[in-house]
Amino acid sequence: AVGHRDTRTGPAVFAGLAQVRPGRPIEVGRADGRTAVYSVDRVQVYDKAGFPDKEVYGPTGRPELRVITCGGLFSRRTGYTSNVVVFAHLTATR
């Protein structure tokens, strides 16, 4: 899941993503009306130039979720210098 950290008028949907801590649950509504519950494993900040595509988007041995937004320093000319990535795994479906 990818979302903005902010907009020209203020904070956006993932404004506080870098403050998420391991163990926190993330609930995701599914198309079938059920809710997938994920548990946060870790939060990483990566420079855009060194973004680890395979680690973030590659296959895993279990159902997992990645939540991604901008991070680091901001310049009006070049945008943000980094990306914040939350790594989580499925713990329940209800």
- Domain ranges in the chain? 6-93
pLDDT digits (tens, 9 = 90+) for 45-78: 999 889 999 999 999 999 999 999 888 888 888 8
Q: Quick one: what percent of the chain has pLDDT higher than 70?
A: 100
The three-state secondary structure class of 67 is strand
The DSSP line for 5-35 is: SEETTEE-TTTTGGG--TT-EEEEE-TTS-E
pLDDT digits (tens, 9 = 90+) for 33-42: 999 999 999 9
Rounded to 5°, angle at Cα 42 from 23 and 21: 50
Distances (CA, A) of 11 to 4, 8, 82: 8, 9, 17
Q: What is the mean pLDDT of the chain?
A: 91
6-93: what CATH class? Answer: mainly beta
Read off the pTM.
0.87
